[in-house]
C-alpha cells in the first residue's frame, strides 16, 4: 500500500531545496506548510516548521539524497 511519510521538517527554504533535489531524480514529494495554509485561510498556527513527505515506496531511492542534503546543511 502506498502511503506518504514525513522525511524532513525544517524551514520552507530547506524543504523546498530538498524537494527540488528529489524531483531531479523523479521522486515526487508533498510539502505540508500548516503556517501558510492557516494564513491563507485567515487564521494562524504556531511554529514555523514545514514538512516534506514522499511515498513509502520511494524511501530507498531517496535515502542517499536525503543523507547528502543533511550533511550539506550540517544535520
61-70 per-position pLDDT tens digit: 999 999 999 9
How far is residue 9's CA from residue 68's CA, in Å, rounded to a whole number?
Answer: 16
Grid coordinates of 9: 521538517
The three three-digit cell numbers of residue 7, written as one number: 522525511
Output the pLDDT for position 49: 83
User: Does the pLDDT of residue 13 top 90, yes or no?
Assistant: yes
The C-alpha cell at 34 is 500548516
DSSP E strand boundaries for 1-75: 4-10, 29-32, 50-55
Residue 33 in this model has a pLDDT that exceeds 60: yes
Q: What pTM was computed for the model?
A: 0.81
Across the chain, mean pLDDT equals 87
As a whole number, mean pLDDT of residues 45-54 equals 79
What's the rounded mean pLDDT across residues 42-64? Answer: 84
Q: Which are the contacts of 23, defined by CB distance < 8 A and separation ≥ 6? A: 29
Amino acid at each position: 500500500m502506498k502511503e506518504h511519510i514525513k522525511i524532513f521538517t525544517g524551514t520552507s527554504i530547506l524543504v523546498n531545496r530538498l524537494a527540488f533535489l528529489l524531483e531531479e531524480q523523479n521522486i515526487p514529494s508533498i510539502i505540508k506548510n500548516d503556517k501558510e495554509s492557516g494564513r491563507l485561510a485567515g487564521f494562524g498556527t504556531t511554529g514555523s516548521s514545514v514538512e516534506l513527505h514522499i511515498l513509502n515506496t520511494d524511501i530507498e531511492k531517496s535515502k542517499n539524497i536525503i543523507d547528502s542534503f543533511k550533511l550539506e546543511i550540517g544535520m
